[in-house]
């Protein structure tokens, strides 16, 4: 069975091995036809604690890992710009 996958932005990374991901979906209003943004937030398992706030990640559905966690981070699609600046400062 194919597992659902979403791409979203990391909103919070304050928990250990867990990130909160905000997924935005565009949908048309049934009656008026206007395009609306719909948001969902998911708690996803991040084994290496690699993703930080502002990163764009791909999450995949998995078995229940805790009370709220039913997703896991598959890959980091794009790192946030603030992290690139911090890494450059650390190298100097």
Ordered domains of the chain (ranges, CATH): 5-91 (2.40.50.140)
**pLDDT reported for residue 85:** 64
Q: What is the value of pTM for the model shown? A: 0.81
CA distance 66 to 89: 37
Task: For 13-39, write each residue's pLDDT tens digit.
Answer: 999 999 999 999 999 999 999 999 999
Return the structure tokens found at 37. 């943004």
Residue 83: band (very low, low, confident or very high) from pLDDT cuts 50, 70, 90: low
**Is the separation of the CB atoms in 90 and 82 below 8 Å?**
no
The residues that bridge with 21 in the sheet, in sequence order, are: 10, 42
Residue 1: band (very low, low, confident or very high) from pLDDT cuts 50, 70, 90: confident
């Amino acid at each position: 069975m194919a597992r659902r996958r979403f791409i979203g932005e990391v909103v919070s990374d304050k928990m250990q091995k867990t990130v909160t991901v905000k997924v935005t979906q565009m949908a048309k209003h049934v009656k008026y036809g206007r395009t609306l943004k719909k948001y969902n937030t998911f708690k996803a398992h991040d084994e290496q604690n690699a993703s930080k706030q502002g990163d764009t990640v791909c999450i995949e559905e998995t078995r229940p890992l805790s009370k709220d966690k039913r997703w896991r981070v598959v890959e980091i699609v794009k790192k946030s710009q603030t992290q690139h600046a911090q890494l450059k400062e650390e190298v100097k």
